[in-house]
Chains A and B, each alone.
Chain A
Amino acid sequence: MSRSLVVAKGVTRIFEASGTGLDDVHALGPLDLELVEGEFFAVVGPSGCGKSTLLEVIGGLQEATAGEVRFDGTIVQGQVPEGVGIVFQEDASFPWLTVRNNIAFGLRHNRTPPAEIRRRVDDALVQTGLRSFADAYPAQLSGGMRQRVCIARTLVLQPHLILLDEPFGALDQQTRLLMGDEVLKLWRATGATIMLITHALDEAAMLSDRVGVMSARPGRFLEIITTGWPRNRDSQIVSAPEFGKITSRLWSLLREESIRAIGDRS
């Protein structure tokens, strides 16, 4: 029986507005979530519902105002646990380093032996299709390639849990689908547990074993849908009839919440 790698119970996040004259912002929760080891879990929801906040709380970049998060049995509190990797939506590649040195950055910081660094970086370059660009600088790469650099930099550290915060948000639709295929390959190769935050319902439906649908702020899970896809899936499942049913169900849950979210902001 698969074990739970991440257990979040009663997680709440309130941003205090001290000194600004505004009210506190209740961004998230209370919500519960369990991530099964080795699964691919996506989170969708209207803008501002707290998806990224949830990711950062699970990842240790923010502390929950209430509730707790456990990663591999240990409480997550104020720092990113060992074994957790995070890829952000914004370009986090280091412009002053080549692709190779970008990928090697974390390994060098951890004082990994040079031979092991070389091996892991070479593997990551092949896995992410960046071998020909190993000595290029990020400024010479497209946006999608820079995201691959960030993914490779995360993968070489062999994390058990990978948190992806809208990593393909800035890319066009075709590139997103292809990058999705790449991520699925890497997921199968590494066996890591992945949590993906995305606005794109089709992306969530295509990539995930389960999709959590969040309500408008304060974000809570309305429903968690199991897709039932086989592990060796790729972007071609978008043509399967079940795919349309899943995205249709996602939208039917999200439509009202999205209207509510827009109404909140106007």
Chain B
Amino acid sequence: MRKATWIRAIVLVAAIAALEIFCRVGIIPRITMIPPSTMVTSLFDLVRSGAITSDTLQTLTSVAIALGSAIAAGFVAGALLHALPRARRIVDPLLATYYSIPVFVFYPLFIAIFGLNAIPKTVIGFMYAVVAMVINTLNGLDRVPPVLWKTARVHHMGRVSTLADMVFPYAAAYLFTGVKLAVAYSFIGVIGSEFILSSGGIGYRISFAYYNFQNDVMYALILLVLTIVVTINMTLYYWERILMARRGER
């Protein structure tokens, strides 16, 4: 293992150990936070009992739909904007300021339109994630050197083939940044919506546990969300590193 990895591991373990000790000796009151080891055992119990299976599946399904749609729509929109410079110039200011808009303000409107079900929070998750994908698709396509577009013409490649076999593979390493952001944003959008108003899902269960002082359940579910998101992003991170290493970039 490299030195940086060792240092990261040591810092993480030390932080968790410190938290464990502070919680156990009462420096951090139990009403505020439970020890990390209790979070783990509590999560294990919840998973084994099946008490959170339905909510977890509900949240992950909404995230998966929001994420998948955002990646697909974001890539297509980014590719179209790249091919249409005039449209891009019109849309650029909107893209630049998009994340200053608190998208959650639309949540009640979507509930009024679609009802209190999975659709509004999925749409919120999509709205958060899609623009990150558009921006990073544009960034990736901008990086494709002109000589590759010419090479595609030398090989008599059509538009679709050029995008699929040349542009997309070249830009893939940069598109990963968009995918990583889309993962994070789709989770934020879905779980955040569940906090506000929902009939189920991990966010709803965390919120319910918070209001009922069920710290063990609340922290166990927070740990679950952290574990899922970190696992997905670390997988993407290592995949991205492999792609970048092949290109001689760190």
Contacts and interface: CB of A to CB of B under 8 A. Distances in A.
Interface string B183-194: 000000000000
Contact of A92 (B151, B156, B243, B248): B151
Contacts of B170: 94-96
A79 B158 CA distance: 11
In this complex, the member of A79, A84, A94, A138 whose beta carbon has the largest number of chain B beta carbons within 10 angstroms is A94
B147 to A, nearest CB: 4
A167 to B, nearest CB: 12
A168 interface: no
Main secondary structure of the interface of A (DSSP, over half): loop
B2 interface: no
Contact of B246 (A84, A95, A109): A95
Interface string B212-250: 000000000000000000000000000000010111110
B169 interface: yes
A94 B150 contact: no
B166 A94 contact: yes
A90 B145 contact: yes
A109 B155 contact: yes
Main secondary structure, interface of B, reads: helix
A96 B172 contact: yes
A137 B153 contact: no
B150 A96 contact: no
Interface in B146-179: 146-148, 150-151, 153-157, 161, 165-166, 169-170, 172
Contact of A95 (B146, B151, B156, B248): B248
B247 A137 contact: yes
Interface in B76-134: none
A155 B248 CA distance: 26
B147 A106 contact: no
Interface in A49-94: 59-61, 79-80, 82, 84-86, 88, 90-92, 94
A139 B154 contact: no
Contacts of A59: 154
Contacts, number: 61
A165 B157 CA distance: 21
A92 B165 CA distance: 14
Contacts of B166: 94
Contacts of A92: 145, 147-148, 150-151
Interface in A139-187: 139-140
Contacts of B247: 95-96, 137-139
Nearest to A59: B154
B157 A109 contact: yes
A105 interface: yes
Nearest to B246: A137
A140 B249 CA distance: 11
B169 A96 contact: yes
A139 B248 contact: yes
B160 to A, nearest CB: 12
Contact of B154 (A80, A95, A96, A138): A80
B150 A86 contact: yes
B153 A88 contact: no
Contacts of A60: 153
Contacts of A61: 150, 153-154
Given A61-B153, A86-B151, A94-B166, 16 more contacts: A61-B150, A79-B153, A84-B154, A85-B154, A90-B146, A92-B145, A92-B147, A92-B151, A94-B148, A96-B247, A105-B155, A109-B155, A137-B246, A137-B248, A139-B245, A140-B248
Interface of A: 59-61, 79-80, 82, 84-86, 88, 90-92, 94-97, 105-106, 109, 137-140
25 contacts: A61-B150, A79-B156, A80-B153, A80-B154, A82-B156, A84-B154, A85-B154, A88-B147, A88-B150, A91-B147, A92-B147, A92-B148, A92-B150, A92-B151, A94-B148, A95-B248, A96-B172, A96-B243, A97-B169, A106-B155, A109-B165, A138-B247, A139-B245, A139-B247, A140-B248
Interface of B: 145-148, 150-151, 153-157, 161, 165-166, 169-170, 172, 243, 245-249
Q: Considering the complex of A and B, which 6 residue pairs feature the smallest CB-CB distances, nearest first?
A: A139-B248, A95-B247, A90-B147, A137-B246, A96-B169, A92-B147
